[in-house]
Amino acid sequence: MEELLKRIKHKDEEAFEEIVNMFQRQLLIIATFRLGDKEFADDAVQDTFLSLFNNCKKIKDANKMKAWLTKVLINKCNKIIKQNKNFKISFELNYFENYIYEEDSYKNIHDEIDFYNRLKVLDTEERTIIAMFYGESYSLKEISEILNINVGTLKSKISRAKSKLKDKIGGEF
């Protein structure tokens, strides 16, 4: 990752493409859960990668690139919501499934779709947190830094979201 970051800082397009391929799916998932709209999610992700290309020198630690990208993405999503006063999140999973099906490395695609489909009962912040923590394997510390939420508060939000999921869809989460 360190080598890729160095190459990106020297505007190596192949290295940039590698980073896009590495993180695009995760960022699309998060943007989709944050915005509930495919076009807005695509725009937010594209703007995030543009920010990476233009501001890569700000990243000092290659191991924090995923967190940096996600934080920029969340800010882009929030900006889209603020700019569109009548913005309504109408979360539909049918277009989201395409992101999952495109990824060949997942062995049990139907379980993953079922996981994300269950999250529809949560509000935007809860969906984002649960998707990042359970679906995309972000650490509590990473989510805390990205969303600017205290780790204790984050744990409470995860607990409440899990309770809501149990109440609304039943079973264990």
Looking up residue 101, the CATH number of its domain turns out to be 1.20.140.160
User: Does residue 67 contact residue 145 with C-beta atoms inside 8 Å?
Assistant: yes
Q: How many domains does the chain have?
A: 1
- pTM reported for the whole predicted model: 0.69
Specify the pLDDT at position 116. 66
Domain that holds residue 13: 2-169
Using CA atoms, how far apart are residues 41 and 11, in angstroms rounded to an integer? Answer: 25
Specify the pLDDT at position 171. 57
Residue 102's Cα: distance from chain center in Å?
17
Closest CA relative to residue 105, chosen from 22, 41, 46: 22
The residue with tokens 């695609």 is: 109
Residue 113 to residues 33, 118, 121, 138, Cα–Cα distance (Å): 13, 9, 14, 19
Which residue stretches of the chain have pLDDT < 70?
85-117, 170-173
Specify the pLDDT at position 144. 92
Specify the pLDDT at position 65. 86
Specify the pLDDT at position 143. 93
Specify the pLDDT at position 95. 45
N-terminal to C-terminal alpha carbon distance within the chain: 33
3-state secondary structure 49-60: HHHHHHHHHHCC
Specify the pLDDT at position 157. 94
Specify the pLDDT at position 89. 56
Using CA atoms, how far apart are residues 8 and 53, in angstroms rounded to an integer? Answer: 7
Specify the pLDDT at position 31. 87
